[in-house]
Amino acid sequence: MVKFDLKEVREDIARNRTERRKFVTLHARWVKRTPNMIWSRQQRRMLDSVIWTADKVAKSRAKGR
């Protein structure tokens, strides 16, 4: 049986939330000061990669691997 320290878990959750908020703020600032052509190109590359990976996983599962 695994025991959890509830206080430690709550601290981890709070720390993760703080880190996510900082990242979102920094990313929003970057998007605002970066020309649309640049950030949209990067966004497209990331989404293409996600779609490619999902397609590859789906095909792999269909083959029974």
pLDDT of residue 50: 95
Question: What average pLDDT does the structure give for the chain?
Answer: 92
Kindly list the distances between the CA atom of residue 28 and the CA atoms of 5, 21, 25, 39, 58, in Å, as whole numbers in the listed order: 35, 10, 5, 11, 33
* Structure confidence at residue 1 (pLDDT): 81
Going by the DSSP 8-state scheme, the letter that residue 64 receives in this structure is T
pLDDT classification of 4: cutoffs 50, 70, 90 = confident
Q: Which residue has tokens 């993760």?
A: 16
Q: CA 47 to CA 40: how far, in whole Å?
A: 10
pLDDT at 65 over 80: no
Nearest partner of 30 among 18, 19, 42, judged by Cα: 42
For the chain, give the percent of residues with pLDDT over 70. 98
- Across 21-40, average pLDDT: 94
pLDDT of 63 > 90? The answer is no
